[in-house]
Amino acid sequence: MKIAPSVVAQNKNIDYKLTLKNSNNIESIEVLSRGDYYHKDEVTYTIQNKTILFTYNMQYLGEFIVKVNFTYKESNIICLYCLDDTMIKLRPIKGDLHMHSIYSDGKATPFAMALASLGAGMDFMSITDHDSYKGSLKAIEKVKQHNIDLLVLTGEEVSVGGKKDMSISQGNGHILSINANRSIQTQRKNTEKYEQELQDIVAVLKKEDIDKNINLQHYAKNIWVIAKIKEAEGISILAHPNWVYRDGKYHLHQAFYKEMLRSSQLDGVEVFGEEKVKEHNNMTHLTALQTKNEHKYLAPFANSDAHDSDHEIGDRFTIVFVKETSASNITTAIHAGLTCAVFKRENNEHQFIGKDEMAQYVYFLIKEYYPKHNSYKNRLAKLYIDQLLNNESFEKSISRVKLQLEKHTSTFFQN
């Protein structure tokens, strides 16, 4: 059973097209809201060329069901979703903003990581090599050169402590710099300027109400990195905040973590990350911030932290809601908190972190929209790889798959 559209606006008369293998012996068609236990309406319908047509105005937000009852067999149901006037104008895009290449400790080229991301259903991604901007630039260059249908953002995973060993950070942790127009690490090479800027930050922090357990000389490095990302018009995302490192301590001093959340300097927090730290990341303080509503809501992110093209890409990802796919629209959505972090478990179930209404919507999309979306993206990735390996144009096939994906999206969401 198929229906179009599947995502509609609240309090609007929507014309539905419902197709069944056999439209004979239909007794009735009902619409039920999953959120409102008592809601159930029977609709008037017509059948034209084996397509069932009906009009309905959904008054309840959230997931609802169209139920086709037959005279001689069990009912068929199909799920739809109702959005408010703001969300109906936005489209979900799927991305991964934390992975590594041969430009740091990764095992594959930036382009290989980009193609692997596309194969896993991503619409956007970023290479975030440790203290290196080059990998992301190389990925952007190659994707543009070969006209790959994937948005690649600049990225860098900044070791805030500034040590040569990226994993020994004096408790400062790591911060992802996304879509910045320059490298953060490069700006630390002018040691004299860097140290003076840190002292300037310390002077400001001394005037603020900072936790007494915080060493301002160390904490200033975190504020410096976030400030530099902001100056470069980028997005700052705190990476794996609850990572327990080899010495048995949290890689990020937890007082630093809470202070950064409290001061709302960051743009987002990684709540699901690399496999070795996923259990600890589930302890994120983000939910407490949302519930208490004391501070700015920070966008939640799930990222693979992949170090190879076959290393967990697709197991963790973030859904962002935008008007259309572009770097500027992604930035706007992140600032508005329009993200939902998703962790795919081994049994093909999913865990979500995001605002309640958004997480419920993403759950629906994972079930109903993304299976086909991912299949088309995976097919595109294979065609691009075949094209590169064979040095032969597969443009007709690529165009056909792109059109199929566009049709899937345009029929799924109310225009």
pLDDT surpasses 70 at 324: yes
* Cα 116 off chain centre by: 16
The residues near 270 (Cβ < 8 Å, ≥ 6 apart) are 98, 176, 237, 238, 239, 240, 241, 281, 301, 302, 303, 341
* Cα 235 off chain centre by: 14
32 with 65: CB under 8 angstroms? yes
CATH superfamily of 2-85: Macroglobulin (MG2) domain (2.60.40.1930)
321 with 94: CB under 8 angstroms? no
Q: What are phi and psi of 19, to 5 degrees?
A: -115, 135
Give the separation between CA 60 and CA 82, rounded to whole angstroms: 7
Indicate the DSSP class of residue 182.
S
- The chain-wide mean pLDDT, for the chain, equals 92
Give the separation between CA 374 and CA 372, rounded to whole angstroms: 5
Chain segment 132-191, per-residue pLDDT in tens: 999 999 999 999 999 999 999 999 999 999 865 555 667 899 999 999 999 999 999 999
Place of tokens 């903003």: 97
Complete edge-to-edge strand list for the sheet that includes strand 151-153: 151-153, 124-126, 91-96, 316-322, 339-344, 350-353
**pLDDT over 90, % of the chain:** 77
Helix (H) or strand (E) holding 383: helix 370-390
Q: Tell me which of 357 and 274 has the higher pLDDT.
A: 357
55 with 15: CB under 8 angstroms? yes
Chain segment 249-305, per-residue pLDDT in tens: 888 898 998 888 888 789 999 988 765 555 555 566 666 666 665 677 889 999 999
Chain segment 197-245, per-residue pLDDT in tens: 999 999 999 999 888 889 999 999 999 999 999 999 999 999 988 888 7
Tokens of 393: 């144009």
Give the closest residue to 314 by CA, choosing from 300, 325, 302, 299. 302
- Angle value at C-alpha 72, between 71 and 73, nearest 5 degrees: 110
The reported pTM is 0.94
Cis peptide before 241 (omega within 30 of 0): no
Place of tokens 């960051």: 266
For residue 171, the model assigns a pLDDT of: 87
Domain 90-368 belongs to what topology?
TIM Barrel (3.20.20)
Residues in the chain, how many? Answer: 415
Q: How confident is the model at residue 248 (pLDDT cuts 50, 70, 90)?
A: confident
Chain segment 87-143, per-residue pLDDT in tens: 999 999 999 999 999 999 999 999 999 999 999 999 999 999 999 999 999 999 999
Give the separation between CA 238 and CA 100, rounded to whole angstroms: 16
- Give the pLDDT mean for 8-31: 94
What are the domain boundaries of the chain? 2-85, 90-368, 375-407
Give the separation between CA 54 and CA 17, rounded to whole angstroms: 7
Give the closest residue to 299 by CA, choosing from 389, 237, 372. 237
Complete edge-to-edge strand list for the sheet that includes strand 268-272: 155-159, 174-178, 235-238, 268-272, 299-302
For residue 282, the model assigns a pLDDT of: 59
Give the separation between CA 282 and CA 270, rounded to whole angstroms: 10
